[in-house]
Amino acid sequence: MIDPRILREDPDAVRAAQRRRGESVDIVDELIAADEQRRSSIATFEAVRGEQKNLGKLIPKAQGDEKTELLARTKELSQQVKDAEAAQSQAAESFDQLMKQLPNLASADAPQGGEDDFVVLDTVGTPRDFAAEGFEPRDHLELGQMLGAIDTERGAKVSGARFYYLTGVGAQLELALTQVAMSKAAAWGFTPMIPPALVKPRAMEGTGFLGQAADDVYYLEKDDLYLVGTSEVPLAAYHSDEILEAEQLPKRYAAFSPCYRREAGSYGKDTRGIFRVHWFDKVEMFVYTTLDQAAAEHERLLGWERDWLDALELPYRVIDVASGDLGLSAIRKFDCEAWIPTQGKYREVSSASNCTEFQSRRLDIRVRGDEGTAPAATLNGTLCAMTRTIIALLENGQQADGSVRLPAVLHPFLGEVLRPLA
């Protein structure tokens, strides 16, 4: 959640951020009223509790009628204190619940608008002209079947629509991508991790995934646990309820994990192959730092993602995501989109988000420096989403005979070329 002082001292800034997202500003007025009620209830509780404490000091010294009156007043105050405490708790809960509905304050530097209003920051590489090469490109599923790498029919048989098996060189390709991605992240200073894929509700709510994305997560009611849609969730909660020392920052983690998503609202879209699925594996980068270093760290995350795509020799572009297309937690987000030949367009393969203090306030993660403690800033960035990266590698590296040329970084694992099965 945001700093309540911003709401109190500069509500117009909050309204402006809501407008940038295309969201209603009514919640700002509701929050201001709820905050006033919360602070009023605190003052009321402290007043009656203070009177109760003072009477407790006077009673031992009083005698006769005065003592009787004081005892009677003490009894009255006892109930008033209970009522005031209950009212204070209720007001605080109402304010907190409303605050959790408010998104992070979208940066004024982000382009304004919706999903299609992004700004292209850079384009790298040139998509191949398959017509000039004399053949029609096959899509990733046809290539995957020719290579014995992807089996969606049995995935659907065993688990349902939008599930799959990676087989043979498909499985080897994911393992190679994982090894290279984790090794690169370690060289950049990230601590490699394999986190749990099941988390408690606080971890999911603390990262903002029970807000606008609530319909997209899988919940195990019997166990009161959620399957994560990204390892951002367990990485953000890793230091929950902790105080980090400023001199030890930034703390950088890179995690490999499965990711589970209902893909709510995407029915009928990208259903062929493994582009939009209910489960995929991913290597995710996550950073804890201070607020004043968050923007610079955001640029560094993007730089590492670009280094990765350069190593994979993929044509891609970088976009600055519009404010209306940001997630609940981010103030700004950069996406890297790889060229997908058979779709004739760039599609997202990674993203980097600056969440400032939004998640750390929910998860109570603070930084201790020379001037005391303050909430940490958190950032996250995809390094390698396996299925979409495999799609991009197969389609961009394909040859007329159905073989696929691999980037040099993968040659030690799979050789230079993946060849169709006989």
- The answer to whether position 214 is within a domain reads yes
Same domain for 268 and 402, yes or no, is yes
- 39 is known as an active-site residue: no
Q: What pLDDT, on a 0 to 100 scale, did the predictor assign at position 382?
A: 97
Q: Assess whether pLDDT exceeds 70 at residue 56.
A: no
Question: Given pLDDT bands bounded at 50, 70 and 90, which one contains residue 368?
Answer: very high
Over residues 189-216, the pLDDT tens digits come to 999 999 999 999 999 999 999 876 788 8
Catalytic option among 41, 351, 353, 360: 351
Mean pLDDT of the chain: 92
Between 57 and 46, the more confident residue is 46
- The answer to whether position 155 is within a domain reads yes
Helices (H) and strands (E) in the chain, counts: 14, 18
Binding-site residues from annotation for ATP: 261-263, 277, 348-351
What mean pLDDT is predicted for residues 232-242? 97
Rounded CA-CA distance 130/69 in Å is: 96
Same domain for 363 and 248, yes or no, is yes
Catalytic option among 21, 38, 332, 388: 388
Q: What pLDDT, on a 0 to 100 scale, did the predictor assign at position 63?
A: 61
Domain span at residue 399?
A: 119-418
- The answer to whether position 110 is within a domain reads no
Same domain for 129 and 94, yes or no, is no
Over residues 85-131, the pLDDT tens digits come to 888 888 888 988 888 889 999 999 999 999 999 999 999 999 999 99
- 19 is known as an active-site residue: no
Q: Is beta strand 316-320 parallel, antiparallel or unpaired with respect to 119-124?
A: antiparallel
Same domain for 253 and 193, yes or no, is yes
Tokens of 247: 């001199």
Over residues 244-258, the pLDDT tens digits come to 999 999 999 999 999
Catalytic option among 8, 19, 276, 368: 276
Same domain for 373 and 238, yes or no, is yes
CATH number (domain holding residue 69): 1.10.287.40
Same domain for 68 and 169, yes or no, is no
Q: Assess whether pLDDT exceeds 70 at residue 58.
A: no
Q: In what order do the strands lie in the sheet with 332-340?
A: 119-124, 316-320, 332-340, 345-354, 377-385, 279-289, 251-260, 191-193
Q: What pLDDT, on a 0 to 100 scale, did the predictor assign at position 61?
A: 61
Same domain for 264 and 162, yes or no, is yes
Query: Lowest-confidence range among 85-89, 223-227, 360-364, 397-401?
Result: 85-89
CB 360 within 8 A of CB 375: yes
- 261 is known as an active-site residue: yes
- 388 is known as an active-site residue: yes
Same domain for 92 and 28, yes or no, is yes
- The answer to whether position 205 is within a domain reads yes
CATH number (domain holding residue 294): 3.30.930.10
Query: Lowest-confidence range among 201-210, 261-270, 308-317, 321-330?
Result: 261-270
Catalytic option among 348, 368, 403, 419: 348
Catalytic option among 252, 261, 317, 366: 261
Token pair 């990485």 in the structure block, residue: 235
Question: Given pLDDT bands bounded at 50, 70 and 90, which one contains residue 275?
Answer: very high
Q: Assess whether pLDDT exceeds 80 at residue 352.
A: yes
Q: What pLDDT, on a 0 to 100 scale, did the predictor assign at position 80?
A: 80
Q: What pLDDT, on a 0 to 100 scale, did the predictor assign at position 264?
A: 74
Q: What pLDDT, on a 0 to 100 scale, did the predictor assign at position 167?
A: 98
Over residues 75-84, the pLDDT tens digits come to 777 788 788 8
Same domain for 364 and 405, yes or no, is yes
Binding-site residues from annotation: 230-232, 261-263, 277, 284, 348-351, 382
Binding-site residues from annotation for L-serine: 230-232, 284, 382
Same domain for 87 and 147, yes or no, is no
- 138 is known as an active-site residue: no
Half-sphere exposure of 172 (CA within 13 A, CB side): 14
Same domain for 167 and 125, yes or no, is yes
Same domain for 292 and 332, yes or no, is yes
